[in-house]
């Protein structure tokens, strides 16, 4: 089992196993960027996972953050746990503050995104994987969550409140994936604030930075820091 992460005093040596288009990996990279940590990017092919990744995390999913410090090594292999770790170390943009506001109910929103919404997203985007002839029913079910986001964005500029925060970074990659399954359909729906929020995210410096392409990692070859 991966080791639990610990609060670090010295700057850690970080290696992130990632897959560029994966929304889970995307939100981990966003948190790393926000916290200001430099890290080694190891882009993988999902069909050819490197042995070191499987040694660190036998379940073989991304992202996986390998944290090396003078006091020891830890492995974090859940995307939101990576976000929590980064922002518990450094949070210069106050991303985490929204989760302390009971009115926002941020953890509940992330649970809905990672649970029911992600299930509908997968079946909408990849219906054949689930023995479905069409994903349209799941598109309609997933849209219910998006209408809830639209309601929030009518009242505040961001899901996190008055400024971009951890809720936006944790959820935007999944909304993006849903939108790009059929953009012509998505952007004519009655959720103008949601559409504007997504477009702003995709045009942001943070998004463009974390979506830079990296060659597939090969063991023994040095990688550039992100």
Kindly list the structural domains of the chain, giving each domain's residue range(s) and its CATH number in brackets, ordered by start. 13-93 (3.40.30.10), 96-207 (1.20.1050.10)
Instruction: State residue 125's pLDDT score.
Output: 98
- Nearest 5°: the CA angle 132, 135, 141 is 120
The pLDDT tens digits of the residues spanning 57-78 come to 999 999 999 999 888 899 999 9
Contact between residue 42 and residue 15 where contact means Cβ atoms under 8 Å apart: yes
Rounded mean pLDDT of 7-30?
86
Percent of the chain at pLDDT above 90? Answer: 86
Give the DSSP H or E segment for 74: strand 72-76
CA distance 46 to 132: 23
pLDDT tops 70 at residue 4: no
Instruction: State residue 223's pLDDT score.
Output: 57
> DSSP E strands: which ranges in 58-205?
64-69, 72-76
pLDDT tops 50 at residue 5: no
Instruction: State residue 72's pLDDT score.
Output: 85
């Amino acid at each position: 089992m991966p080791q639990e992460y610990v609060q670090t005093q010295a700057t850690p040596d970080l290696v992130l196993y990632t897959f560029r288009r994966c929304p889970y990996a995307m939100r981990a990279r966003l948190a790393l960027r926000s916290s200001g940590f430099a890290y080694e990017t190891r882009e993988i092919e999902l069909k050819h996972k490197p042995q070191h990744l499987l040694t660190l995390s036998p379940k073989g999913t991304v992202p996986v953050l390998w944290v090396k410090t003078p006091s020891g090594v830890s492995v974090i292999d859940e995307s939101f746990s990576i976000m929590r770790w980064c922002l518990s170390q450094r949070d210069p943009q106050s991303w985490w503050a929204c989760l302390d506001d009971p009115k926002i109910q941020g953890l509940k929103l992330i649970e809905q995104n990672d649970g029911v919404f992600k299930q509908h997203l997968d079946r909408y985007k990849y219906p054949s994987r689930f023995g479905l002839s069409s994903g349209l029913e799941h598109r309609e079910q997933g849209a219910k969550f998006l209408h809830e986001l639209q309601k929030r964005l009518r009242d505040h500029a961001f899901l996190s409140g008055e400024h971009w925060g951890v809720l936006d970074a944790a959820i935007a990659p999944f909304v993006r994936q849903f939108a790009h399954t059929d953009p012509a359909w998505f952007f004519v729906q009655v959720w103008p604030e949601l559409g504007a929020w997504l477009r702003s995210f995709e045009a942001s410096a943070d998004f463009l930075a974390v979506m830079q392409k990296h060659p597939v990692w090969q063991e023994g070859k040095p990688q550039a820091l992100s």
